[in-house]
């Protein structure tokens, strides 16, 4: 599994890259929107974990780009609730603060959902 | 306009209304009482003269001729001349009639007839109607007196329309003045209310912005701390320090979640439904029953079944959780919950023993305020949420301590 993890906080990226690689698979990190867009177009990913506050490119555009390549998306938000529904919507929204276990569950849920969608389409 | 400002305006205008109404009622009441007293003085004067003043032309009869200007030196008192019943002009200007009844009602004889609005025949009929009474107002502005002299019953009726007109004018002016004062008062209260509440609203707004910002700023670092602790545990194995860090992070996460709910009722529309509050409270208590037991806190409850309330489901679920959580944190040895319907309202009482002194304890609802000594630290946001939630549902919440028992009373 190959994950693209995009967030503006480098400590977060570094810490979770290590954890993801230990438990989930290869993880590529990006700390701004242009990097994410560029990586999405140049490489194939099984999952995008995207911080809603990623700078330079609007997170909705990035979700749109990922959806075009059928990459499932988990959006990380610092909002306490879920204000409105951004279009196109992510597969799962996860609020900070979260534990590694909870993000791991979110990853499995998203991939499971993706699998079901693919098999339904086939 | 926020609720507090609206309340201030309504209470202030109510106070103005009540004060003005009392004042004007007293003024007009005294005015009309004095008018009745003046009229009674006149009817008494007529009664003393067997029903008639002697007029200059000598008609009709009376006891004695009274000159227009008495020669008594003390007659002129003060800067103004005599007024009302004492005026010597009264003899000539008073409109009245007196009817005497010798034995039977039918034997009516006009003793004095000095009035234009009533014919002599009408005067007799009118007097006959009044003969069973003593004194009072009749047909609105006429004052009458019934009295006896040597076996003859006299009925004297005087017209006070002219004298009452100023009193009625004062009454109408008072009512119009009060209405005008209320309108002007309302506009002044709007201006004053804005001046008073603008800084308070601004302070509240800034506090909420600060809380929202702090809330957001805490979220990512907490995630990083927890993640790094997880990494450390993986590298070196879990120990007391890493477990402690996880616990503290969990506490901070809880605080952050609570901070996120500060002010959520200010603008949001609630989805209300019939909520089975008895079930919500029962399940919240069941979830924490073991925690109460492990802390050695005796838990009692008296929950009336099937109590429902029209409310937001998520808000009610959180409210019952906060109440139970509060009791769990602060109870020394016992805690209890009562839920019942009372006079059409839902009354929820949560109580626990405490070492707080007796008295009202509504400060417990203030943000970041903890009144009681908690076995576990509290952020002071749980009851703040309870109060905001109850207010958003048009309910009331109060807190007090009596005889070592801290009681939260919620009416919905």
**Six-digit token string for B132:** 């069973």
pLDDT confidence band for B43 (50 / 70 / 90): very high
The residue of A96, A98, A101, A106 whose CB has the most chain B CBs within 10 angstroms, and thus the best one to mutate to test that interface, is: A96
Put simply, whether B245 touches A (Cβ < 8 Å) is no
Q: A65-70: long-range contacts (C-beta < 8 A, 24 or more apart)?
A: A65/A37, A65/A40, A65/A41, A66/A40, A69/A40, A69/A44, A69/A45, A70/A114
- A81 vs B227: CB contact, 8 Å cut-off? no
d(CA B216, CA B230): 22
Whether B229 and B241 have beta carbons less than 8 Å apart is answered as no
Count of residues making up chain B: 412
- Closest Cα in chain B to A51: B220
Work out whether strand B405-411 and strand B396-402 pair parallel, antiparallel, or are unpaired: antiparallel
Distances, alpha carbon A93 to alpha carbons A65, A98, B102, in Å: 17, 12, 105
d(CA B251, CA B209): 22
Work out whether strand A2-6 and strand B96-101 pair parallel, antiparallel, or are unpaired: unpaired
Burial class (CB in 10 A: 0-12, 13-18, 19+), B85: middle
Q: Higher confidence at residue B217 or residue A59?
A: A59
Q: Higher confidence at residue B260 or residue B167?
A: B167
* pLDDT in the model for residue B187: 93
Per-residue pLDDT tens for A14-60? 999 999 999 999 999 999 999 999 999 999 999 999 999 899 999 99
* pLDDT in the model for residue B379: 66
Least confident of A55-64, B19-28, B182-191, B311-320: B311-320
Put simply, whether B214 touches A (Cβ < 8 Å) is no
- B220 vs A18: CB contact, 8 Å cut-off? no
The alpha carbon dihedral of A41, A43, A44, A50 has a sign of negative
* pLDDT in the model for residue B376: 55
* Range B273-411 classified under CATH 3.30.565.10: yes
Q: If you average pLDDT over every residue of chain B, what do you get?
A: 85
d(CA A90, CA A88): 7
Which residues of chain B does A15 touch, with a Cβ-Cβ cutoff of 8 Å? Answer: 224, 227-228, 231
- A19 vs B259: CB contact, 8 Å cut-off? no
B234 closest CB neighbour out of A16, A22, A79:
A22
Put simply, whether B232 touches A (Cβ < 8 Å) is no
Q: What backbone torsions phi and psi does residue B206 show, to the nearest 5 degrees?
A: -65, -40
pLDDT at B76 over 70: no
Which residues of chain A does B218 touch, with a Cβ-Cβ cutoff of 8 Å? Answer: 97
List chain B domain ranges: 3-69+80-165, 273-411
**A6 sits in which H/E element:** strand A2-6
- A95 vs B224: CB contact, 8 Å cut-off? no
d(CA B364, CA B381): 9
B224 closest CB neighbour out of A9, A79, A81:
A9
Cβ within 8 Å of residue B211, ≥6 positions away: B259, B262, B263
pLDDT confidence band for B85 (50 / 70 / 90): confident
d(CA B115, CA A23): 114
Nearest CA to B228 out of B253, B249, B257 is that of B249
DSSP B302-322: EE-TT-EEEE-HHHHHHHHHH
The mean pLDDT value for A97-106 works out to 91
Domains of chain A: 2-121 (3.40.50.2300)
Which residues of chain B does A100 touch, with a Cβ-Cβ cutoff of 8 Å? Answer: 226-227, 230
pLDDT at B71 over 70: no
A97 closest CB neighbour out of B223, B230, B234:
B223
Burial B11-41 (b: 16+ CB within 10 A, else e): ebbeebeeebeeebeeebeebbeebbebbbe
pLDDT at B63 over 50: no
pLDDT at B217 over 50: yes
């Amino acid at each position: 599994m190959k994950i693209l993890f995009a967030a503006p906080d480098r400590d977060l990226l570094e810490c979770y890259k290590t954890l993801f690689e230990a438990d989930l698979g290869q993880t590529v990190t990006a700390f701004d929107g242009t990097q994410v867009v560029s990586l999405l177009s140049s490489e194939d990913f099984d999952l995008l974990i995207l911080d809603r506050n990623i700078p330079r490119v609007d997170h909705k555009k990035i979700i749109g780009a990922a959806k075009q390549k059928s990459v499932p998306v988990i959006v990380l938000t610092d909002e306490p609730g879920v204000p409105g529904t951004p279009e196109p919507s992510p597969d799962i929204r996860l609020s900070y603060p979260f534990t590694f276990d909870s993000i791991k569950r979110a990853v499995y849920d998203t991939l499971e959902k993706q699998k079901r969608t693919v098999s339904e389409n086939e | 306009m926020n609720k507090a400002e609206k309340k201030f305006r309504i209470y202030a205008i109510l106070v103005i209304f009540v004060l003005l109404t009392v004042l004007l009622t007293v003024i007009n009441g005294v005015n009309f009482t004095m008018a009745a007293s003046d009229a009674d003085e006149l009817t008494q004067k007529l009664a003393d003269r067997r029903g008639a003043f002697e007029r200059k032309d000598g008609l009709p009869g009376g006891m004695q001729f009274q000159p227009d200007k008495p020669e008594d030196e003390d007659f002129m008192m003060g800067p103004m001349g005599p007024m009302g019943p004492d005026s010597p002009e009264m003899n000539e200007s008073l409109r009245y009639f007196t009817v005497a009844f010798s034995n039977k009602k039918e034997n009516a004889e006009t003793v004095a007839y000095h009035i234009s609005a009533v014919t002599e025949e009408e005067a007799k009929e009118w007097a006959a109607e009044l003969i069973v009474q003593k004194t009072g107002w009749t047909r609105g502005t006429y004052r009458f007196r019934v009295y006896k002299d040597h076996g003859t019953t006299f009925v004297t009726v005087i017209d006070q329309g002219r004298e009452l007109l100023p009193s009625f004018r004062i009454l109408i002016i008072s009512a119009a003045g009060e209405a005008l004062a209320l309108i002007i008062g309302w506009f002044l209260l709007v201006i004053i209310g804005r001046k008073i509440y603008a800084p308070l609203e601004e302070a509240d707004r800034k506090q909420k912005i600060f809380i929202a910002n702090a809330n957001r700023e805490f979220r990512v670092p907490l995630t990083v701390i927890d993640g790094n602790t997880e990494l450390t545990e993986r590298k070196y194995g879990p120990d007391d320090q890493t477990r402690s860090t996880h616990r503290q992070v969990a506490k901070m996460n809880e605080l952050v979640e609570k901070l996120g709910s500060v002010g959520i009722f200010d603008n949001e529309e609630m989805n209300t439904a019939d909520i089975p509050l008895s079930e919500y409270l029962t399940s919240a208590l069941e979830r924490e029953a073991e925690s109460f037991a492990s802390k050695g806190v005796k838990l009692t409850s008296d929950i009336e079944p099937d109590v429902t309330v029209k409310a937001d489901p998520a808000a009610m679920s959180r409210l019952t959780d906060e109440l139970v959580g509060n009791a769990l944190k602060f109870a020394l040895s016992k805690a209890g919950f009562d839920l019942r319907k009372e006079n059409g309202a839902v009354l929820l009482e949560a109580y626990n023993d405490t070492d707080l002194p007796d008295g009202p304890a509504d400060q417990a609802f203030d943000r970041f305020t903890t009144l009681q000594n908690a076995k576990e630290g509290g952020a002071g946001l749980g009851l703040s949420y309870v109060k905001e939630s109850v207010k958003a549902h048009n309910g009331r919440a109060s807190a007090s301590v009596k005889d070592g028992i801290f009681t939260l009373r919620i009416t919905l």
